[in-house]
Amino acid sequence: MPLRDDSPSRQKKLSRRDSNDAADRALKGKHCHISAERLDAIVDKNGVSLVEAVRGELKKMKSTEQYVKTAFWIQLQQRYDLEGVTVFDGLEEPDQAETVSKELWDCLQQARCSNPIHQDADVLPTFFEICRGLQ
């Protein structure tokens, strides 16, 4: 049976790997609208990657804290200039804009009316049943 290596360097590598994975998951979960390749490639002027910055914040958190503070995510967005760059920027423009039928628009307005007395969510299923019958 092989001996188990419990040396301090092995333990340090395990905890480092775990914190890198946790930072990567937190970053990609929070910024899922930005491509993973771009998130991995971005560094600030000091050469610190996004994952390293998130990992540092995770290490600073107290054991009682469950979530990274919103202020950190805002600061990270500004520091790495993440505003306005999304995967949606690469989508092609549609050839022709599709218009919504007047009947559908009226049903949506009735279902989402700000006055609760005039709201009627039952109009949409009825409208869709009529449309299905027309197809």
Residue type, 18: D
Task: In whole angstroms, give the CA distance from residue 61 to residue 44.
Answer: 22
Task: In whole angstroms, give the CA distance from residue 71 to residue 48.
Answer: 19
Instruction: Tell me the domain boundaries of the chain.
Output: 8-85, 102-134
DSSP state of 87: G
Model pTM above 0.75? no
Structure confidence by residue, pLDDT tens digits, 79-126: 888 776 666 767 777 777 777 778 878 887 887 778 877 777 777 777
Q: Which stretch, 28-37, 46-55, 74-83, 101-110, has highest mean pLDDT?
A: 46-55
Closest CA to 23 of 67, 58, 65: 58
